[in-house]
Amino acid sequence: MLSADIISILASRGANITIPKLCSVKSSNLTGGTCPVTDANIFEKIVNTSKLLEACNSVDPLKECCRPVCQPAILDAALRISLRESTFGDSNIVKEPATTDVLSDCKGVVYSWLSRKLSSDAANTAFRILSACKVNKVCPLEFNQPSEVINACRDLAAPNPSCCSSLNTYIMRIQKEMLITNRQAIICATLFGSMLQKGGVMTDIYELCDVDLKDFSLQAYGQQGCLLRSWPSDVVVDNTTGYSFTCDLSDNVAAPWPSSSSISSLSLCAPEMSLPALPTLEASTNPGAFC
């Protein structure tokens, strides 16, 4: 199927006809692109498909982003097929390490293979979780140097109209950038707070000026902030109301002020916990040990 055919189908279902300008739709996106393996039989000879299916058949939404299982399996499969010499090339040529573009295209081949082998529900769930892991890793907003906020809020111990006005003006500018998820908002608030701390603002001005997480996302009607859920959800198309989507219902949460000027350790993953070692036989028989 040609890209023009796909665009025509999408447009007939309500999509914008300017899709080619908004997205990089190329013929290579609809095939294997630069990946040397696109044939399913060859793919299954190179990749340990049993291991791949086991890793991605049931993706844990709580663990995958922090202790991934499916993601490294996909990467391993993509690496293996990316290192295979193209069937159109000279078999005597030594294969060079795969480039980023080739590896990316090969990941697409792995996703395509998985989508055919997994059930529709399993594939839908797995791909949404993997998408959420990727999207929620970083803050997508661009922060300019907040000099005015720093000058107005430095050495502040009580609410100050000048400080809060400067802070709100700055936040209003970044609100126009995009909709973000609830997890992205946590990272963005921490990142911006860290920038302020490095400039000398040590007081939690989020609390003093009533800044919520939703304030970092695009505003509806200029007043109501909307945070998208961390899990990707469907956009509903209605002929009467147009496009609609669900906002996070728990978006009225105060923005977290960073506990340190450094965010190098910022992570939404819980630290690994280890249980204490079981007592040894020697310890249990020691007269001085308590039972």
Tell me which residue of 161, 163, 156 sits closest to 203, measured CA to CA: 156
**84 conformational bin, left if phi > 0, alpha if psi -120 to 50, beta if neither:** beta
Output the pTM of the full model. Answer: 0.70
Domain ranges of the chain: 31-135, 147-244
Q: What is the DSSP letter of 254?
A: B
80 or 97: which carries more pLDDT confidence? 80
Q: Using one digit for the tens of pLDDT, what is the confidence trace for 138-169?
A: 899 999 999 999 999 987 766 678 999 999 99
The C-alpha R_g of the chain, in whole angstroms, comes to: 25
Average pLDDT over residues 117-122: 90
100: pLDDT strictly greater than 90: no
Is the separation of the CB atoms in 102 and 82 below 8 Å? yes
Q: Which residues are 225's β-sheet partners?
A: 219
For residue 79, which phi and psi values (nearest 5 degrees)?
Answer: -60, -40
Q: Using one digit for the tens of pLDDT, what is the confidence trace for 230-282?
A: 877 766 777 776 777 777 766 578 999 998 644 555 666 755 544 455 555 55
Q: Are strands 236-238 and 242-244 parallel, antiparallel or unpaired?
A: antiparallel
- Rounded CA separation 63/266 (Å): 17
Is the separation of the CB atoms in 71 and 146 below 8 Å? no
| Alpha helix ranges (H) inside the chain | 3-12, 19-22, 40-46, 49-56, 70-82, 100-117, 120-135, 147-153, 161-175, 182-198, 205-208, 281-285
Q: Of 76-85, 135-144, 174-183, 267-276, which gets the smallest average pLDDT?
A: 267-276
